Structure 1
Amino acid sequence: MKKTLFILVLCTFSIIGVYSSIQQDRILEAVRNGVVKLLTADRAPNYLTKAVKNISKIKDTLESDETICQSCQVVVHQVLTYRRNGANKDSMKTYFNKLCKIFTGWGNTACHGYIDIEIDPVLYMMDNKNDLTPERVCAIYFQAQKCVDPDAKKWIIPLPPPPKKNEEIEEDDDDDQIGPLRILHLTDIHYDPLYKPGSNAVCKDPLCCQSGVPSKPGNAAGYWGDYNVCDMPRHSVLNLLNHIKEKYIKDIDFIYYTGDIISHKSWASSKSENTKTIKEIYGLFASIFPNTTIYPILGNHEPHPTDFYSPEDVLQNQISTQWIFNLSVTEWSRWLPESTQDTILKGGYYSVLIKPGFRIIAINSNFCFTSNLWLMYEDEDPRDQLAWLVEELYKAEKNKERVHILSHIPPGEILCHKQWSNQFHKIINRFAHIISAQFNGHTHIDELKVFLDEDDESDTDKVINVAFNGASFTTFVGFNPNFKIYEVDPSSAMVLDYDQYIFNLTKANQNTTPPQWYKQYSFKNAYNLHDMSLPSFEDLLEKMSKDDDLMWQYYRFLVRDSDVKIKEGCNSKCLKKLLCYITAVETNESVNC
């Protein structure tokens, strides 16, 4: 969610408008001259400011993408040149601050904060990655604009041959479980210890509701949360957990927590504060749900700096993010067996056999997130995770196990590194017959990701796998809080149905009495499905492609009937894009949506 150091410098170009080639050349020339001028000027020259302000209204996608990529390369080239010509740390910080202010529009507080936090790892990458080029940086961070690095390596994760027909798993109807398993899915709490009801909810920083006097009553932070750029206060988190304890926990078999505990105040994070908050939330989980096993994974906000997951060979304590894996081993030991510790320490991922025939594989997909600047340094299967995933799935296949995959970044996320996304897609295709479901977070929306059989030559799209997003407890930005409870077949581990629970933030903030949680929908009932088998998802996709009313319902659920989002609406073009995203399970597919 947060823009990191180079992205801060470059992000304005993601809203570049259409203009003639002459205008394009003028803008590029202004950027080229302006970023050089900024080296010695106290403030941006007028022509650079004017060029930035005149960039507006994209219409021709190809031309705008080309301009984004060229502009990005101009800026990164100057940044790299300045450092390689001998600029010291203080000079680089000063330069980054000037660039941040002109290209992001953020104030001193956020710009200085991000740069102070990220300067050391960024300089390490620049100094130790000899083949770091503008093309590499821009191809990674503006992959949605189809920027190209001609020297990019298309690395491959080897896959074992598929099983023979007689080796495939057969359904076992003799499971001792009476009734379906019930799994609680929580995600993206984004607890803000500094949240202050009544403070300014409409501020200039990337996160509000912490301080300041609102300019009018309507801008005051709500008691239970806020639709503006705000996260969640402690009393709201306690309400969520205690409500679940009182109403549902006795029927819950276990809990999936798919990441993001830390707030979006990423420009002021620290190891000590992140550690304190992580311990506090896991401590609440353990005390409020003392008899329920929780299977947690890391979000992109847990490390410091936010989004940064360093390579295994980066050992300097000042910049390594090994500390978050060390912390996770300790905190997760409440629920996970000792056998998971080696891989958690290696990269925050693990595999657990829940019972004979049913395995959970939890991965750290944050390694693919393009806001993780360490991808500039090393992008080839960070910490050997995908190779390990193949090994675990292959063993599960041989042992005739069904698998749930937990992952923070969902398949097809447009900011997931395209080569990682491509290889993950191939892994899911290979092992789809044993992967009963996937569970994600991160995007804060209640979305589906449906994998289609790439080898099927029929006219009908054959569904082979489904990923469910838990949406978010945080309201960031403009959503109602939620949680989900799944019913899962104990034999096949397939999802039979799920219920989504929400409360309306507008109504809740009318007073300080506890919010009125209610069931927004049951998936089977809402979509009038006989079951949630893969063929049923094929039928659902077919209906969605022909029925805007059905897609409007999908949008309502996606935003959890948020007053703000419902008012914004979603026209036919928007609905078609949402439908496209459902089957876009690889980054390149999402870009094309």
Structure 2
Amino acid sequence: MKLSWLFVAIATTLFVQNVVSNTISTAEERLVAAITAEVDVLAKTGVVTEELKAYLAELAFPTLTRNTDLTSYIEQRSSLTCTLCTSLVNVIMGYRKIGLAEETIISTITTLCVNLNIEGEDVCRGVIELNAPIAFYIVDHKPNLAAASVCGIVLQSSSCPLTDEEFEWTVEVDDGEPVHISSEETKETFRIVQISDPHYDPVYEAYGNAYCDEPTCCRVGQNDTNTSGAVAGYWGDYNDCDSPWYAITDALDQIKSQEQEIEYVYFTGDIIDHGVWETTREGNIKAINKTFKQLYETFGSVPVYPIFGNHEPNPTNVFAPSDVTDDEYEVSTTWLYELSADIWIQYGWLPESTRSTILEGGYYTLSPKTGFRIIALNNNICYVYNWWLLYEPQDPSGQLKWLADTLLQAEIDGEFVHILAHVPPGTGSCQYTWGREYRKIINRFAHIIPAEFNGHSHNDEIRVIYDLEDTTEAIRVAWNGGSISTYSDVNPNYKVYSVNANNYAIEDVDTWIYNLTLANESPDKNPTWFKSYSFKDQYGLEDLSLSSLNDLVLRMAYNSSIISTYYGHYVKQSDPGLESGCSDSCLTNQLCKIVTAVADDSTQCNYFTSLA
């Protein structure tokens, strides 16, 4: 679940059922005013009036919508959502500006959150209290911030456009002709392992409550609320549960025993669990230290190249600019950057030269061998739930300009590049301007980027990205590492890439998994890992060149059975994923996800679905 800044989330959930008009009528304007007035009474008196109770009862979320992405749910509604969002955010920002007590603001939002059935009391208050200091800081230090911009960022839809010119920016990119790198043909390969999204839960409770009323379950202290009878498995659970420590170490031990010759390990983020309402800086530090120590002890001299997931900071999702150092209310991210730089350099994975950019924004580059460069990004900053986008919208931390300059130098130096980035390209929750500028940069230098590696989604998926000018030409590929975590309805997995030793192209991908149902039937035995499939063999490809991958996408468009096979791997052959199946609309969505490079750009989606 993308539980976020509930100051905004609550506002965006206030919609009227069965509204179909795209314009706000006078009656609807009166409704917005009436709700806003009742919220004002709540803030000033602490009393939920009968009128407000009636509104909230009518507008409350169905329980089934919990643990879902609010944005995707809201996109189905009319522009009334945007108007309500803007009105209520205006009210909330106004409370701060006139000096209303922080606890009064927090209590007001908590009351709305609970009455709208977004979450229970503990979760609502926990998330609000964690995010409130950041919200207050931004309102205090950015007096020109408009409520419409807040809603335009979070909702990111045609019904709630972001029109503030400050959020429209561009990155200067070298416009020279691409300089291609010549490389000798070779059959020599080496192997890279990708590990992603372990989501370690320090309080995982085997045989605890697997179906609770909170964003993540299977945790100590939840069993007394078990009304469904769902019991957490020993090795993990398909429900909204994270990973016990022994399941993570089992995965690492499996990789060590199975893969005797690994050149590198790509670790694509998300160590921290989904307990987003009760994370602490101290808890995150402990989990981060523990996880990287285990990686070091497992792989020894094999370099591990890590990046941040969106769960690493506290609170979740928020990465402050480097010049925000005021830590009185724990709004800075400096602690995370300093901690990670120290660990990654101390273990010998990264050179000292990477420290400056890690401290600036959580990104770095290095060249592990002549002719090859790794660029590790912190693209979590583009996440629409990263509230610091409202404070520093234009190329946060200068990361994209740095990326363009680094790729230009790599081109000059004749280096092939692998890019590591937690959030996959085309993800709808990446702020549009950032995603567009990123695509522009990669489009210019795609000829030296054989592959990108992502995490975040927990699914075994691929993105095939097309040229900005010739929209039928595939120019790059992004592979997703899936997850060690089973959150939600997936089996654990890791990936092994066979990489060409000269041009660093991916020649094949093996995905390893185990069946969680079978593993939990024998808790006293380690899970039985097996190779789920080879990408090249599964789809009958001669190679994994861009032309072959484009041909595969075309075959998927013409033959839904191929997309059905893809979907089975997407859910990593999990029992609930296969049982629920994938409808025709689901298959279409899968195809569109594969070819979409930027949120709200449906060019390739429309093209390929028209072929079906």
Q: TM-score, normalised by structure 1?
A: 0.94
The letter for the 2-side match of 1:123 is F
Distance 1:54 1:514, change over 3 A: closer
Match of 2:300 among 270, 275, 290: 290
Match of 1:565 among 562, 577, 581: 577
The letter for the 1-side match of 2:213 is K
Aligned to 1:269: 279
| Structure 1 residue 187 displacement after superposition | 0.4
Q: Aligned partners of 2:477, 2:75: CA distance in 1, in Å?
A: 32
Q: Aligned partners of 1:356, 1:93: CA distance in 2, in Å?
A: 54
| Structure 1 residue 17 displacement after superposition | 4.9
Q: Secondary structure at the match of 2:450?
A: strand
Q: Aligned partners of 1:61, 1:301: CA distance in 2, in Å?
A: 23
| Structure 1 residue 32 displacement after superposition | 2.7
Q: Aligned partners of 1:354, 1:14: CA distance in 2, in Å?
A: 53
Is the CA contact 2:15–2:59 (under 8 Å) kept in the aligned structure 1? no
Distance 1:63 1:548, change over 3 A: closer
Structure 1 residue 484 corresponds to structure 2 residue 495 = yes
The letter for the 1-side match of 2:448 is I
Q: Aligned partners of 1:422, 1:519: CA distance in 2, in Å?
A: 36
Aligned to 2:77: 64
Q: Aligned partners of 2:382, 2:191: CA distance in 1, in Å?
A: 30
Structure 1 residue 521 corresponds to structure 2 residue 533 = yes
Aligned to 2:36: 32
Is the CA contact 1:30–1:48 (under 8 Å) kept in the aligned structure 2? no
Q: Secondary structure at the match of 1:587?
A: coil
Match of 1:122 among 123, 126, 135: 135
Distance 1:304 1:15, change over 3 A: farther
Which region of structure 1 is more displaced relative to structure 2, 490-499 or 203-212? 203-212
Is the CA contact 2:238–2:489 (under 8 Å) kept in the aligned structure 1? yes
Aligned positions of 1:134-213 closer than 5 A: 134-144=147-157, 146-153=159-166, 154-163=168-177, 167-173=179-185, 179-210=188-219, 211-213=221-223
| Structure 1 residue 590 displacement after superposition | 6.3
Which region of structure 1 is more displaced relative to structure 2, 382-391 or 506-515? 506-515
Is the CA contact 1:144–1:414 (under 8 Å) kept in the aligned structure 2? no
Q: Aligned partners of 1:306, 1:38: CA distance in 2, in Å?
A: 28
Distance 1:14 1:555, change over 3 A: farther
- Deviation string 1:284-304 (CA, Å, 9 cap, x unpaired) is 001111121100001111011
The letter for the 2-side match of 1:290 is G
Structure 1 residue 502 corresponds to structure 2 residue 502 = no
The letter for the 2-side match of 1:410 is P
Q: Which runs of 5+ in 1 are unaligned?
A: none
Aligned positions of 1:351-390 closer than 5 A: 351-390=365-404
| Structure 1 residue 266 displacement after superposition | 1.3
Q: Aligned partners of 2:214, 2:126: CA distance in 1, in Å?
A: 11
| Structure 1 residue 86 displacement after superposition | 2.0
Q: Aligned partners of 1:519, 1:304: CA distance in 2, in Å?
A: 36
Q: Report % sequence identity.
A: 37
The letter for the 2-side match of 1:559 is V
Match of 1:308 among 299, 302, 318: 318
| Structure 1 residue 151 displacement after superposition | 2.0
Aligned to 1:9: 10
Q: Secondary structure at the match of 2:600?
A: helix
Distance 1:275 1:493, change over 3 A: same
Q: Aligned partners of 2:419, 2:302: CA distance in 1, in Å?
A: 19
Which region of structure 1 is more displaced relative to structure 2, 60-69 or 573-582? 60-69
Q: Which runs of 5+ in 2 are unaligned?
A: 66-70, 607-612
The letter for the 1-side match of 2:13 is T
Which region of structure 1 is more displaced relative to structure 2, 205-214 or 18-27? 18-27
The letter for the 2-side match of 1:70 is T
Is the CA contact 1:508–1:516 (under 8 Å) kept in the aligned structure 2? yes
Distance 1:41 1:239, change over 3 A: same
Q: Secondary structure at the match of 2:79?
A: helix
Q: Aligned partners of 1:305, 1:151: CA distance in 2, in Å?
A: 27
Which region of structure 1 is more displaced relative to structure 2, 68-77 or 273-282? 68-77
| Structure 1 residue 54 displacement after superposition | 8.9
| Structure 1 residue 322 displacement after superposition | 0.9
Q: Aligned partners of 2:104, 2:445: CA distance in 1, in Å?
A: 51
Is the CA contact 2:211–2:228 (under 8 Å) kept in the aligned structure 1? no
The letter for the 1-side match of 2:421 is S
Q: Secondary structure at the match of 1:109?
A: helix
- Deviation string 1:388-424 (CA, Å, 9 cap, x unpaired) is 0011100000011100000001111100011000000
The letter for the 2-side match of 1:405 is I
Aligned to 2:68: none
The letter for the 2-side match of 1:38 is L
Structure 1 residue 51 corresponds to structure 2 residue 55 = no
- Deviation string 1:420-474 (CA, Å, 9 cap, x unpaired) is 00000101100000011000001111121111122227xxx21100001111111
The letter for the 2-side match of 1:452 is Y
Q: Aligned partners of 2:16, 2:413: CA distance in 1, in Å?
A: 50
The letter for the 2-side match of 1:48 is Y
| Structure 1 residue 315 displacement after superposition | 1.5
The letter for the 2-side match of 1:194 is V
The letter for the 2-side match of 1:516 is T
Match of 2:264 among 251, 254, 263: 254
Structure 1 residue 452 corresponds to structure 2 residue 462 = no
- Deviation string 1:495-554 (CA, Å, 9 cap, x unpaired) is 001000111111111121111111111100111101001110111111010111000111
Q: Secondary structure at the match of 2:419?
A: strand
